[in-house]
Amino acid sequence: MNGFSQHRSSTAAPASGGGQADQIATALAVIERVRSAVLEEMEAIRRRKRVDYDAFSARKNMGLLDLNRLAPIIAKNMANVALGRSVLSLKEALDASKTALAIELDAAKSITELVASAMRHGESDGTYSSTTLFCRFDR
């Protein structure tokens, strides 16, 4: 059993028969697990480490599924101070992650464009380039 399955089996399903305190504790654990995955991914990006986006995506997707299952419980208990703070903290982490990932994506697009341009220029024999065309008429 991998680490994802262990976390999921212990906190994923809301305890429908459990009391309000148990439900809130379950929601807090899931929110913290998602927040932790988001923060770990951002830290890896910040440190310029190799980022396993597939693994982070899997962790976040599992957390999102768990949060969707817990949504009625979370909505019903938003007056709970700890739960409200936890949800706000997750939102802040997600907003920061969105910004960091957008920067990474823009950088990747820029590199892709540079490589594609270099390949186009490297493959061209110059027949149709503007500099070759003007050179022919200058003679």
**77 assigned to some structural domain:** yes
**95 assigned to some structural domain:** yes
Measured at the alpha carbon of residue 51, what is the angle toward residues 50 and 53, in degrees to the nearest 5? 150
pLDDT tens, position by position, 80-117: 999 999 999 999 999 999 999 999 899 989 999 999 88
Q: What pLDDT is stored for residue 29 in this prediction?
A: 97
Domain ranges, residue 9: 3-101
**120 assigned to some structural domain:** no
- The total of structural domains in the chain comes to 1
**21 assigned to some structural domain:** yes
* Higher-scoring residue by pLDDT: 130, 60: 60
Does residue 7 register a pLDDT over 50? no
**125 assigned to some structural domain:** no
Q: What pLDDT is stored for residue 128 in this prediction?
A: 61
**31 assigned to some structural domain:** yes
**124 assigned to some structural domain:** no
**64 assigned to some structural domain:** yes
Mean pLDDT on 13-26: 76
Mean pLDDT of the chain: 83
- Closest to 51 (Cα-Cα) out of 62, 41, 38: 41
* Higher-scoring residue by pLDDT: 121, 131: 121
Q: What pLDDT is stored for residue 38 in this prediction?
A: 96
